[in-house]
A and B are shown apart, each in its own frame.
Chain A
């Protein structure tokens, strides 16, 4: 089933806060999960309300974001939008993981270098 995914962005990563995002990626996926179109939008200002409105008018089915207030999470869920929140890391990796069906809320997608001396 084709669907639209929205990811809140800060540079090349998922934005830590939904309400403070000023840039979003809207990715249109085809029936087979392939990327049909990636569209980046720069928002006029930070606003969780305006972002919710954009999500609904663009008929987005899934939102991938960092921290989001319960009020907006509940609203989007009520509007049948799936929200994967507390996702941390590069947005491309988040999108790939979503397309392969193993992205969950709270996923940490950063490469983490192990410490020199404190690893037991």
Chain B
């Protein structure tokens, strides 16, 4: 087999160029095979990775050379042939040196000038460095742009790699400013779809007709003003991730259309009967209570079920234990460097205030506070005078790890809110307990239910505020 050549490229340059010489320059392993999936050509990177040379394995079935754990079950080349589109899968190979190496495989059908498939190209990426990075991430206080060391965030960091490896629809819930967009992007980047597009669309930002065209695209002449064909975001997200933020604001009519897409994964642009099979993972996010919206008839229950295959909840900052301190230091370092300041930290009074503040706007609000203070501050320590004015009259809350949504949906009426202005959080909470107990004639279990707490939490808080009789 040492008398074979490995192809030339003609017509691209003034003189013909040897194909291997181009492929050898790539840092990605490349394998070219014929229609029977027999090896035609390997590049140098794959030779190093696998331990086989192109001369010795020419004409050998690819499964004997690649030796991946997925060859037998779901060969990416067969999948690429069936779908006539690139397919990317993670797995591992065992090379000639008997090492098991985690890899990302991407298979693409190769067509001749007439469009007939003549063979396949498969890229093999060694993802050991990426996995080492992931391992180190789990040891630190961050995952991508998500930062936290509270138990809730650590649990989330452990879930992200698992969730990223599936293609199931994902629903991210959490209050405003908790980092839903960041989480969606982190999951996309940690997934097999990282090389595909991450397409974001805000369901609340566009009018219904525009949104439909944005999502599904349209054909020329489909409506007045449709002067050209337009690819929708769903099609743009092919082989990638579509992120639908503010899904709770999606109009009911579009909810039906989205549901149909989630069921059969075919995109029909407006005015067209020709569908496109889109390989898209859908991630949706909302700060709204979708279950409640279903009850009120504002959100389709079947769509909720379809999106809610995997659900991740981002806890509000006030429930994230020691994360406030971590985030304060992180953003201070970030903005000090960005604005060219030499700010060393916060004064004791400011730190105390910021650690006890309730952060209704969550991480986004904390970030803005630090950005504002870093801008204003001309000294080495951020003092009270550098904080936004509204913080002068703050309500504070203890940062204990309290039950989920402990304060997220507090049943305070507008009158109640007026009554509480000027009170600190402890006083508001005490008043809230008293009001609720009065309303339910002292029945603690009923009061706990209304407040969204367990009976023991209510008892603990009553004891804390001296309300025990």
Contact = CB atoms under 8 A, between A and B. Distances in A.
Contacts of A86: 96
A37 to B, nearest CB: 27
A16 B67 contact: yes
Nearest to B6: A118
B289 interface: no
A108 interface: yes
B71 A16 contact: yes
Given A16-B67, A17-B69, A70 B5 contact: no
- Chain B interface helix/strand/loop/mixed: loop
A120 B7 CA distance: 11
Interface string A10-30: 100100110110000000000
B367 interface: no
A78 interface: no
Nearest to B73: A20
Interface in B89-142: 93-100
A51 to B, nearest CB: 14
Q: Name the residue in A68, A86, A114, A119 with the highest tally of chain B Cβ atoms < 10 Å from its Cβ.
A: A86
B3 A17 contact: no
B72 A108 contact: no
Contacts of B417: none
B4 A119 contact: yes
Interface residues on A, range: 20 to 34
Nearest to B66: A16
Interface in B48-66: 56-61, 63-65
B12 interface: no
Given A16-B67, A118-B6, A67 B94 contact: yes
A69 B97 CA distance: 8
Contacts of A20: 69, 72
Contacts of A120: 3-5
Contact of B60 (A69, A70, A110): A110
A109 to B, nearest CB: 10
Contacts of B56: 108
Nearest to B70: A20
A11 to B, nearest CB: 10
Contacts of B100: 69
A66 B67 contact: yes
Contacts of A114: 4
B1 interface: yes
A115 to B, nearest CB: 6
B99 A70 contact: yes
B21 to A, nearest CB: 15
A68 B94 contact: yes
Contact of B3 (A16, A67, A110, A119): A119
A113 interface: yes
Contact of A112 (B1, B7, B65, B71): B1
**What 5 A-B pairs are tightest by C-beta distance, nearest first?**
A112-B59, A67-B94, A70-B98, A88-B64, A67-B67
27 contacts: A16-B67, A17-B67, A17-B94, A20-B69, A66-B64, A67-B67, A67-B93, A67-B94, A68-B94, A69-B99, A70-B98, A73-B98, A85-B98, A88-B60, A88-B61, A89-B64, A106-B96, A108-B60, A110-B61, A112-B58, A112-B60, A118-B5, A118-B6, A119-B4, A119-B5, A120-B4, A120-B5
